Amino acid sequence: MNPLIKPFRESLEMLDRVQAESVFQQALTTLSPIQAVEQVVVPALEQIGAAWEAGSVALSQVYMSGRFCEELVEHVLPPSDPDRKHQPRSAIVVLSDYHMLGKRIVYSVMRASGFELFDYGRMGVDELVARAQADKIRVLLISVLILPSALRVRDVCTRLKAAASGIKVLVGGAPFLFDAQMWQEVGADAMGHSAADAVNIVEGWMGEMQ
Ligand code: B12
């Protein structure tokens, strides 16, 4: 467990943006940006989430922590890599809910790993199904953090299959971490635990699609 998680979490809980940034910079002296995010930012946010569930922090603290972290991650993860891979047309989206940080990280890591993909931001089912088909997407990455959104993935998959779109759907986020069978129940083609999983799974599919 990284020793910077505790001071980072405490500065987030105190809404001390300057201190949070300083601890994060300290992490960057020994870790790469993605390591700092996965080893310090993600566990700190998970601990804050657990503290909220236990009633010891307020939702406003959870919210501001998420926002600060989004800004930090936005700055450090490289937006693009010039040496793009030959790859299927891909897109990433947050389906229906408002938890944007996981998608941001997966998007950045995919791009930093040489993938080019559309960032659809946040969409509902109708808009997503229409847009993915219009853009001729082959691989769709869907991030959700609340259960009702996870269940809506089923509508997306059913409609894409009915349209014989051939789009492969990769899902991730808290509900799929809590219930290991859920990705299959909603009709997705695969589930990833992390941003690194997203890269590995899409690379595996690239082999099959050629
Ligand atoms: C921060 C946070 C918020 C912030 C979000 C701020 C923001 N701008 O993002 C705010 C305060 C807005 C919020 C609101 C709510 N939240 Co909230 N929130 C969290 C918290 C603490 C952390 C989420 C986070 O950002 N984690 C850090 C990121 C980096 O991790 P991540 O998203 O999991 O992503 C990683 C992996 O999952 C994976 N991944 C993610 N997406 C994808 C996609 C693909 C394709 C792949 C391969 C991988 C992948 O890779 C990422 C990087 O490693 C979680 C706790 C938790 N355990 O997740 C609760 C949590 C998600 N929230 C929860 C709830 C219930 C809510 C609210 C309904 C609370 C309320 N009563 O109002 C609202 C819902 C708002 C809405 N409609 O969306 C629940 C969801 C439970 C459920 N299963 O339904 C959680 C799990 C807390 C809990 N245990 O109860 N929340």
Condensed to tens digits (0 to 9), the pLDDT of residues 97-145 reads 888 888 987 887 777 566 778 999 999 999 999 999 999 999 999 999 9
Lowest mean pLDDT among 21-25, 78-82, 177-181: 78-82
Query: Does residue 147's CB lie within 6 angstroms of at least one atom of ligand 1?
Result: yes
CATH number belonging to the domain at 90-209, selected among 3.40.718.10, 3.40.50.300, 3.40.50.2020, 3.40.50.280: 3.40.50.280
Query: Does residue 43's CB lie within 6 angstroms of at least one atom of ligand 1?
Result: no
List all residues 6 or more positions away from 64 whose beta carbon is below 8 Å from its beta carbon.
Answer: 12, 15
Query: What is the CATH architecture of 5-76?
Result: Orthogonal Bundle (1.10)
Per-residue confidence (pLDDT) for residue 112, from 0 to 100: 59
Tokens matching residue 162: 């009915």
Q: How far is the CA of 22 from the centre of ligand 1 (A)?
A: 24
Check whether 80 has a pLDDT greater than 60: no
Which of 40, 145, 157 to probe ligand 1 with, by most ligand atoms within 8 A of CB? 145
Q: How far is the CA of 146 from the centre of ligand 1 (A)?
A: 7
Name all contacts of 189-193 with Cβ < 8 Å and 24+ positions apart. 192/106
Mean pLDDT, rounded, for 50-54: 84
Check whether 30 has a pLDDT greater than 90: yes
| Closest atom, ligand 1, to C-alpha of 192 | 47
In this prediction, residue 82 has a pLDDT band, given cuts at 50, 70 and 90, of very low
CATH 1.10.1240.10 residue window(s) in the chain: 5-76
